[in-house]
Structure 1
């Protein structure tokens, strides 16, 4: 056992090593991509031996899948779990989150891996499906006439804004929010529909 695998008093760094590996993967995968990050570099940044790394993650594929799984395990709780907002406000809040990583890591992983059977690709699909489902559920709560369509439209808009922000290095979410407002307003009937002109309505008396 090397010194990198031990704690201050020579005790094995169990959980600490796993967290350092995941922390290093978040940094390196974000900054330089998954494919360009080798296990040797990752272990050096995490300060663990390759033996320790493979004890926690049998393969790099397992590490990539766990990296995505931990990125947003509760599926945007800052949007969908807020009880201080109306359903309509929650739909718009999806476009008003801080953009610390402009390109969604799930999109980045799916594009970079080129393997639909990769566990990370499967997790990315599951996450994106869940996002659309949560948007659809919220659209239904808001009274949308076709919540499934609105949910898919907003999910597509989110992904497009994320990718465009990364490519242009310019925040595209304000524009996406303006488009989302139009989509939402068109999909949700007014709570106070315009009353018919009484002058044109024959009297029933």
Structure 2
């Protein structure tokens, strides 16, 4: 590949083709879906030739997998790694995110691909498990009675809010956040009661 080459519009393009392809995939996959987006359209949107696209990505499957890895590289870490938030605040902060597209891209990809062995489906599965694990860790730090269970409950609540928002075209995250408050405070209170009971028994 030369440093400069002509794209589909005939204009000479510099470096950054890979970034343009990923940027185009984020917009097109989000707006019209993975299956409805072809490589010709992606190349036109990114202003690169198909030859250039296939030099950066072996095929559409590889591009889809990398697209998912680019979707949420910092948002979750900015919440869970924040020194300014208490563990309880971290658990609630995930419900304050306002995605451009309310439908979770990981769920969308898994539904469209229909293949659990697809690299993108596997990444989506790993991502969902990682989010639940981070929620469980924060729940543990917050003093929840069963942090793993609470983590799974909150992860399910997040996915449900995203799907309901998409289907009804109405923001379901405030309602989900209110439910999360009840779940979190109940789990913390249960741990406190259990701790008090053990202290009483040990005396």
TM class, shorter-length: 0.7 to 0.9
Task: Give the C-alpha shift of residue 24 in structure 1.
Answer: 0.6
Q: Tell me, in whole angstroms, the C-alpha distance in 1 between the residues paired with 2:107 and 2:120.
A: 11
Task: Give the C-alpha shift of residue 83 in structure 1.
Answer: 1.1
Per-residue CA shift, 1:158-183, capped at 9, x if unaligned? 00001111111110000000000000
| Structure with the largest fraction of helix | 2
Q: Tell me, in whole angstroms, the C-alpha distance in 2 between the residues paired with 1:83 and 1:60.
A: 39
SS in 1 for 2:7: helix
Please, which moves more after superposition, 75-84 or 28-37? 75-84
SS in 1 for 2:20: helix
8 Å Cα contact 2:6-2:49 kept in structure 1: no
Question: Pairwise mapping of residues 56-71 of structure 1 onto structure 2 (< 5 A)?
Answer: 56-71=56-71
Q: Tell me, in whole angstroms, the C-alpha distance in 1 between the residues paired with 2:74 and 2:46.
A: 26
Q: State the 4+ residue runs in structure 1 displaced beyond 6 angstroms.
A: 190-193
Corresponding residue for residue 54 of structure 1? 54
Task: Give the C-alpha shift of residue 100 in structure 1.
Answer: 1.7
Q: Tell me, in whole angstroms, the C-alpha distance in 2 between the residues paired with 1:178 and 1:172.
A: 10
Q: Tell me, in whole angstroms, the C-alpha distance in 2 between the residues paired with 1:161 and 1:17.
A: 35
Corresponding residue for residue 197 of structure 1? none
Task: Give the C-alpha shift of residue 77 in structure 1.
Answer: 2.0
After superposition, the CA RMSD in angstroms is 2.3
SS in 1 for 2:71: coil
User: Do residues 13 (structure 1) and 10 (structure 2) align?
Assistant: no
Please, which moves more after superposition, 91-100 or 58-67? 91-100
Corresponding residue for residue 83 of structure 2? 83
Corresponding residue for residue 4 of structure 1? 7
Q: Tell me, in whole angstroms, the C-alpha distance in 2 between the residues paired with 1:171 and 1:57.
A: 36
Paired residues in the alignment total 191
SS in 1 for 2:42: helix
Question: Pairwise mapping of residues 97-108 of structure 1 onto structure 2 (< 5 A)?
Answer: 97-108=97-108
8 Å Cα contact 1:75-1:127 kept in structure 2: no
Q: 1:122 to 1:75 in 2, by over 3 A?
A: farther
Corresponding residue for residue 145 of structure 1? 145
Q: 1:191 to 1:129 in 2, by over 3 A?
A: closer
User: Structure 1 regions of 5+ residues with no counterpart?
Assistant: 194-205
